[in-house]
Structure 1
């Protein structure tokens, strides 16, 4: 049989680039494995934090005054909602929802809520653009309301690139399209990453939380979903003010998820795979409290790879002599927040009452 060039017996090469990327992963595997073996050592933890921070790109200085001010206050059935604005850096203004429990008395334990891709902060609160409660909670499952009902003050910043914080032209062109691609590509030209800017702003949110007189700054946690899970994981890994973290729909492996299928560009950071895989980055939280939640039908963070991450994290927390600080739940669902165990776990870890009988499945 002849090929298109008319020559018999010559095998046409595979022109695709899949094998090239696969080879890169295999050739860097030994270095990652060596780092993984040392992950339970404090000096290795400090080194990995420095690598993560370098991959996130340059951070602005955190000395810009927040100048937080309250815009309005509204009462709902289960909570009081304050709408606040503060500045994280020069020319950058952030709209923030603050949900305050109606029952009990502060200072409250506080949770930073990091929403995923979608309409922005109102997805976490389960509100429409007019502030009305949605009939259908969507994949975010109104998770911020779940938390405030349990006695935690919840702070929900609009994450850069979503909602009203998109690029002006994209905001006008499509009300449901994020600005992740535009922001990520242009920030790279300045040696920064969109993930880095989002982590920096999450740290500024912690600054704001700690400044509120109705917050107990010794009991601050973070709850993140999907892309918000990345922000929550990296912020908690770098900022030890976070005492407990819940990661929903994110914990996995790079090879099983972000390298295996299309993901938003904000998930990709330069150089990380030279030194580490995704579970080790989540493990920067150790020995502080960490909970992983994922759906068994999640199409973009496949459950078999989430289970690999969980197995490594269980061993990692044992190496830190803190096995009781790690828990997890695989729920029957897709790429969504369930909250059947994670909300109660966070409640307990931040010291609000006692919730017995929480065992991971």
Structure 2
């Protein structure tokens, strides 16, 4: 007799897939998108009110060769303060196309610019590859909020731990007790960051993009899917299927959304961005988002964009690397996509 629970979970997945197929028969793309957005909102949990003023302040400003860096603080919800880096091009004049940069797991927003916690440049930029610096050098204003649970935004006791130790587990578990999720809080804060970008005089509110890596891609993807102000999105090191990634091996608990598989697989959620512009970057050797499932997700996204008559707005690059940002195709693509802005119609 087999006492394991593997078959039980397999049947749950197959039943959910069959149920989704039945529920989407003879449903238009537009109707399906509305349903999915509602399902995603339910899975993310309750959002705080968004009418609270951000009360943004500039803490300091420093000039580098290619850009100016501002350190900013704003308030996303009562008692919740966010440190933010803003990189501003030093060549040309604004308002510039602006990008919300969402870092992955690690030391927080410093990873996006390749700095240590004291602000010194790291010799090895790591898997983030200073992507925010690449973005500003390409001619975009870049806003990098420190994502909840990382860097200085960890739980007080966990701040005493070694670097790279996040508060994802603690926050995820406790938020569930209030009907919320850590992914939901992060997506909410990403939308508040878009509020902040929209209010900057040196940022073009009609040309806002999002660039995410790994867990930051989850935030960028879901925020872009819910917020039409994002005109173009780049997702690195994340696009896959739930079955092939977070259901197949150990991943951080912040990746899991209650009940979402009853409504959508990961490529369907990513498809909420359509018909707006989307570019996917992934490594052939990525061990936690396996390439065979990346290709499966890309095939589904190609079908979604074709269904919207927007195939030219979807692109991808599978590079020979691992779980890392390359950027040689995705960053020029994003600049070009934002140069088009929202002027072209689907």
TM-score tier (shorter):
over 0.9
Q: Aligned to 1:183, which of 150, 167, 171?
A: 171
Q: Aligned to 1:57, which of 41, 45, 66?
A: 45
- Are the structure 2 counterparts of residues 16 and 89 from structure 1 closer, same or farther at C-alpha, using a change threshold of 3 Å? same
- Are the structure 2 counterparts of residues 90 and 314 from structure 1 closer, same or farther at C-alpha, using a change threshold of 3 Å? same
Q: Which residue of 2 aligns with 1:269?
A: 257
Q: Which residue of 2 aligns with 1:7?
A: none
Checking the alignment, whether the CA contact within 8 Å between 1:40 and 1:319 is kept in structure 2 is no
1:237 and 2:222 matched = no
Partners of 2:233 and 2:250 in 1: CA distance: 26
Extract unaligned runs of 5+ from structure 1. 1-12, 354-361
Distance apart, 1:92 and its partner CA:
0.2
Q: Aligned to 1:121, which of 109, 122, 133?
A: 109
Checking the alignment, whether the CA contact within 8 Å between 1:40 and 1:316 is kept in structure 2 is no
Checking the alignment, whether the CA contact within 8 Å between 1:40 and 1:320 is kept in structure 2 is no
Deviations 1:40-99 (A, max 9, x none): 611110111010011000000001110000000011122110000000000000000000
Partner SS for 1:100: strand
Q: Which residue of 1 aligns with 2:344?
A: none
Q: Aligned to 1:138, which of 122, 126, 141?
A: 126
Distance apart, 1:127 and its partner CA:
1.1
Question: Which protein has the larger Cα radius of gyration, Structure 1 or Structure 2?
Answer: 1
Q: Aligned to 1:345, which of 333, 336, 340?
A: 333
Distance apart, 1:175 and its partner CA:
3.2
Q: Which residue of 1 aligns with 2:288?
A: 300
Distance apart, 1:173 and its partner CA:
2.8
Partner SS for 1:127: coil
- Are the structure 2 counterparts of residues 38 and 222 from structure 1 closer, same or farther at C-alpha, using a change threshold of 3 Å? farther
Deviations 1:310-347 (A, max 9, x none): 01111110100000110000001111111110001000
Checking the alignment, whether the CA contact within 8 Å between 2:105 and 2:164 is kept in structure 1 is no
Partners of 2:255 and 2:28 in 1: CA distance: 25
Distance apart, 1:257 and its partner CA:
0.4
TM-score, normalised relative to structure 1? 0.92
- Are the structure 2 counterparts of residues 100 and 318 from structure 1 closer, same or farther at C-alpha, using a change threshold of 3 Å? same
Q: Aligned to 2:278, which of 290, 312, 321?
A: 290
Partners of 1:91 and 1:294 in 2: CA distance: 37
Checking the alignment, whether the CA contact within 8 Å between 2:98 and 2:204 is kept in structure 1 is yes
1:227 and 2:215 matched = yes
Q: Which residue of 2 aligns with 1:331?
A: 319
Extract unaligned runs of 5+ from structure 2. 342-346
Moved more, 122-131 or 297-306: 122-131
Deviations 1:102-137 (A, max 9, x none): 110000100000000000001001111221222211
Partners of 1:91 and 1:192 in 2: CA distance: 17
Q: Aligned to 2:180, which of 187, 192, 203?
A: 192
Distance apart, 1:15 and its partner CA:
1.4
Deviations 1:130-156 (A, max 9, x none): 212222110001000110001000000
Partners of 1:253 and 1:340 in 2: CA distance: 25
1:259 and 2:247 matched = yes
Partners of 2:263 and 2:157 in 1: CA distance: 38
Partners of 2:248 and 2:233 in 1: CA distance: 26
Q: Which residue of 2 aligns with 1:167?
A: 155
Partners of 2:27 and 2:82 in 1: CA distance: 36
| Count of residue pairs the alignment pairs up | 341
1:15 and 2:3 matched = yes
TM-score, normalised relative to structure 2? 0.96
Partners of 2:61 and 2:30 in 1: CA distance: 44
Partner SS for 2:173: helix
Aligned-CA RMSD value: 1.3
Checking the alignment, whether the CA contact within 8 Å between 1:39 and 1:45 is kept in structure 2 is no
Checking the alignment, whether the CA contact within 8 Å between 2:102 and 2:220 is kept in structure 1 is yes
